[in-house]
């Protein structure tokens, strides 16, 4: 094959260009410390790089965003639950102290005042939020758990469900002594028999709400329904007609209650069960006792029903116009965060799993009992003062009869206060157990999250290492390759410069 000068020049230029490409390649690698700049340089490296980049992006999302957000949410929740635990512990101790029979009326009044303040703080913890999202209200994170101000317009029709274990004994007192009646009776010289105070015990179910002022309204449906299972597992159901009244009206009627009757006390939110009713439900161990009632008007601090019951809410405008009702169905509303591939964790604790209105209702009844006991004690003092101020034997005799009635009333209420505090000790033990369970559950989920975080951290480091091994080059290796390529390039330039220094004419003489 004949090699011409043009062929030599062409080949030289080709070789020089190839060497320049190599120099440029290693120069780029030296600047980026990456194996390739374009996918075409090494498709295998490029494909692996894309796959590892996707995996790393996914892990970074879990490790740097999802997990920290879940940690923060659960940390806020755990702090709130710990505060609730401390509050309930303090309330429990106060109840234990209140159950002591050596306390004075002033001592118990101070205890009740402290309990009321603690109760307000307890429910305030339920409004805890994380980044503007309330943590105990399920999906309704834009809504507080309690009413933050008095609301006289909203109307809720709600269905509250109980079991036979919610039936409890409750005392009701009648024929209370009235100082005005004492004064009138003595002034008129009455000889009629003085009605002595009475105490009656009935079985009741206490609702979550009562009507505490004239702006509120509590009404009920006409039936109390229940369900139970027989020994063979067959489900049966029944119902009882409900009659609405108030405690004052019931007391005026002498606390009369037929065996199969159910009274709905609209002012206090209680279902009073006739003996046949309570006996039946206890014998069959009714697992579902339900009552539907309507409540209009709520006070600041009361729980919003939609977080606890199936209910229908009707908003009423200031002009009195009723808006379209909104129906809420009680369900588990777990907020789940994806913290790893195919792994989610529930970050929220729902209010109905931790606490309900029973804490506030217990404190209200304690306060009422203490106030009644104090009032009964004051009546004794007033009657004794009236006796000391008169010398009329008939008046003294009549006042002594009233004093006997006042002492009996005071004894009733002293025993009642003692029993309410003793009962509260057990109740607050149960409330504390529920919060402790929630704290434990939240803590266990936090531990799981911490383990996942550790794994994600290790996975992130592993993928970053694999990605580096796939894409990166050691700078010393690049320098060696660059030096070799540069030497080859300069050598090719030198060789090419000598190609045309001599031609055929130099040999023709």
Whether residue 329 has pLDDT greater than 90? yes
**What per-residue confidence (pLDDT) applies to 106?**
87
**What per-residue confidence (pLDDT) applies to 489?**
77
Q: Where residue 484 falls among pLDDT bands split at 50, 70, 90?
A: confident
Do both 364 and 430 map to the same domain?
yes
Whether residue 506 has pLDDT greater than 70? no
199 membership: H or E segment, kind and range: strand 198-206
Do both 236 and 266 map to the same domain?
yes
Looking at every residue in the chain, the average pLDDT score rounds to: 89
| Residue pLDDT, tens place only, 304-321 | 999 999 999 998 887 878
Q: What is the mean pLDDT of residues 83-97?
A: 95
In sequence order, the β-bridge partners of residue 328 are: 311
Residue 254: name the closest of 292, 209, 198 by CA: 198
The reply to whether 420 falls in a domain is: yes
The reply to whether 500 falls in a domain is: no
Do both 328 and 338 map to the same domain?
no
Do both 86 and 165 map to the same domain?
no
452 membership: H or E segment, kind and range: helix 393-471
Q: Where residue 507 falls among pLDDT bands split at 50, 70, 90?
A: low
The reply to whether 397 falls in a domain is: yes
Range scoring the smallest mean pLDDT among 110-114, 119-123, 127-131, 474-478 = 474-478
Do both 274 and 382 map to the same domain?
no
Angle at 26 between CA 23 and CA 27, to 5 degrees: 80
Q: Where residue 490 falls among pLDDT bands split at 50, 70, 90?
A: confident
| Cα–Cα dist 216/121, whole Å | 24
Question: 322 and 316 in contact (C-beta within 8 Å)?
Answer: yes
| Cα–Cα dist 463/56, whole Å | 6
Whether residue 138 has pLDDT greater than 70? yes
**What per-residue confidence (pLDDT) applies to 278?**
94
| Residue pLDDT, tens place only, 180-227 | 999 998 888 888 889 899 999 999 999 999 886 666 778 887 799 999
Q: Where residue 168 falls among pLDDT bands split at 50, 70, 90?
A: very high
Angle at 95 between CA 94 and CA 96, to 5 degrees: 90
The reply to whether 484 falls in a domain is: no
| Of 172 and 25, the one with more pLDDT | 172
Question: 29 and 35 in contact (C-beta within 8 Å)?
Answer: yes
Whether residue 155 has pLDDT greater than 70? yes
Q: What is the mean pLDDT of residues 106-129?
A: 94
**What per-residue confidence (pLDDT) applies to 87?**
96
Q: Pull the structure tokens for residue 427.
A: 């109740």
Whether residue 468 has pLDDT greater than 90? no
Domain end among 332, 356, 377: 332
434: left (phi over 0), alpha (psi -120 to 50) or beta: alpha
| Residue pLDDT, tens place only, 56-82 | 999 999 999 999 999 999 999 999 999
| Residue pLDDT, tens place only, 264-293 | 999 899 999 999 999 999 999 999 999 999
Domain end among 311, 332, 353: 332
**What per-residue confidence (pLDDT) applies to 197?**
95
The reply to whether 430 falls in a domain is: yes
Do both 196 and 270 map to the same domain?
yes
Domain end among 332, 366, 381: 332
**What per-residue confidence (pLDDT) applies to 33?**
77
Q: Where residue 53 falls among pLDDT bands split at 50, 70, 90?
A: confident
Whether residue 147 has pLDDT greater than 80? yes
Do both 175 and 284 map to the same domain?
yes
Q: What is the mean pLDDT of residues 37-64?
A: 87
Q: What is the mean pLDDT of residues 27-38?
A: 76
**What per-residue confidence (pLDDT) applies to 414?**
92
DSSP 73-133: HHHHHHHHHHHHHHHHHHHHHHHHHHT-TT--HHHHHHHHHHHHHHHHHHHHGGG-EETTE
Do both 176 and 322 map to the same domain?
yes
Range scoring the smallest mean pLDDT among 41-50, 57-66, 338-347 = 41-50
| Of 18 and 224, the one with more pLDDT | 224
**3-state SS, residue 378:** helix
Do both 264 and 213 map to the same domain?
yes
The reply to whether 4 falls in a domain is: no
**What per-residue confidence (pLDDT) applies to 142?**
93
The reply to whether 12 falls in a domain is: no
**What per-residue confidence (pLDDT) applies to 416?**
95
Query: What is the domain-level CATH number for residue 117?
Result: 1.20.1330.10
> What is the CB neighbour count within 10 angstroms for residue 451?
10
Do both 206 and 314 map to the same domain?
yes
Range scoring the smallest mean pLDDT among 144-158, 187-201, 452-466, 471-485 = 471-485
Residue 343: name the closest of 458, 465, 441, 445 by CA: 445
The reply to whether 307 falls in a domain is: yes
Residue 193: domain span:
150-332
| Cα–Cα dist 466/448, whole Å | 27
Q: Pull the structure tokens for residue 461.
A: 């480091």
Share of the chain above pLDDT 90, in %: 66
Do both 325 and 346 map to the same domain?
no
Do both 294 and 158 map to the same domain?
yes
Domains identified in the chain, total number: 2
Question: 302 and 158 in contact (C-beta within 8 Å)?
Answer: no
Whether residue 104 has pLDDT greater than 90? no
Q: Where residue 31 falls among pLDDT bands split at 50, 70, 90?
A: confident
Whether residue 501 has pLDDT greater than 70? no
| Cα–Cα dist 186/192, whole Å | 11
**What per-residue confidence (pLDDT) applies to 503?**
59
**What per-residue confidence (pLDDT) applies to 477?**
75
Torsion of CA 135, 147, 288, 221, to 10 degrees: -150
Range scoring the smallest mean pLDDT among 245-259, 352-366, 468-482 = 468-482
């Amino acid at each position: 094959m004949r090699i011409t000068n043009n062929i030599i020049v062409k080949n030289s230029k080709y070789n020089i260009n190839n060497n320049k490409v190599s120099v440029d390649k290693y120069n780029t690698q030296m600047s980026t410390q990456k194996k390739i700049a374009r996918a075409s340089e090494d498709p295998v490296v490029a494909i692996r790089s894309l796959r590892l980049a996707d995996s790393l992006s996914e892990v970074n999302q879990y490790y740097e965003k999802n997990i920290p957000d879940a940690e923060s949410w659960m940390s806020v929740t755990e702090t709130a639950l710990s505060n609730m635990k401390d509050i309930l512990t303090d309330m429990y101790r106060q109840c234990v102290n209140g159950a002591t029979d050596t306390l004075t009326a002033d001592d118990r009044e101070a205890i009740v005042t402290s309990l009321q303040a603690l109760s307000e703080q307890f429910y305030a913890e339920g409004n805890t939020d994380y980044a503007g999202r309330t943590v105990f209200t399920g999906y309704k994170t834009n809504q507080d758990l309690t009413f933050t101000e008095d609301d006289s317009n909203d109307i809720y029709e709600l269905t509250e469900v109980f079991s036979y274990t919610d039936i409890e004994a409750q005392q009701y007192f009648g024929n209370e002594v009235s100082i005005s009646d004492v004064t009138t009776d003595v002034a008129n010289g009455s000889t009629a028999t003085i009605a002595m105070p009475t105490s009656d015990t009935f079985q009741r179910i206490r609702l979550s709400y009562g009507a505490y002022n004239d702006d509120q309204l509590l009404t009920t449906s006409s039936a109390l329904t229940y369900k139970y299972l027989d020994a063979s597992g067959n489900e049966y159901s029944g119902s009882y007609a409900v009659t609405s009244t108030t405690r004052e009206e019931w007391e005026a009627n002498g606390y009369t209650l037929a065996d199969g009757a159910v009274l709905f006390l609209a002012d206090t939110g209680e279902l009073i069960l006739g003996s046949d009713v309570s006996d039946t439900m206890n014998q069959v161990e009714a697992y579902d006792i339900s009552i539907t009632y309507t409540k209009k008007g709520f006070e600041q601090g009361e729980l919003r029903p939609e977080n606890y019951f199936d209910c229908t809410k009707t908003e009423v405008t200031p002009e009195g116009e009723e808006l379209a009702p909104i129906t809420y169905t009680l369900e588990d509303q777990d907020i789940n965060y994806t913290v790893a591939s195919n792994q989610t964790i529930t970050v929220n604790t729902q209010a109905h799993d931790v606490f309900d209105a029973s804490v506030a209702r217990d404190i209200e009844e304690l306060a009422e009992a203490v106030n009644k006991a104090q009032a009964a004690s004051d009546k004794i003092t007033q009657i004794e003062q009236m006796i000391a101020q008169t010398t009329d034997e008939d008046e003294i005799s009549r006042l002594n009869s009233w004093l006997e009635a006042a002492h009996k009333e005071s004894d009733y209420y002293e025993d009642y206060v003692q029993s309410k505090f003793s009962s509260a000790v057990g109740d607050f033990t149960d409330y504390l157990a529920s919060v402790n369970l929630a704290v434990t559950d939240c803590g266990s989920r936090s531990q799981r999250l911490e383990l996942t975080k550790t794994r994600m951290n290790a996975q992130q480091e592993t993928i970053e290492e694999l990605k580096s091994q796939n894409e990166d080059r050691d700078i010393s290796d690049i320098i060696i390759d660059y030096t070799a390529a540069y030497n080859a390039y300069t050598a090719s330039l030198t060789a090419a410069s000598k190609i045309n220094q001599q031609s055929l004419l130099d040999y023709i003489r």
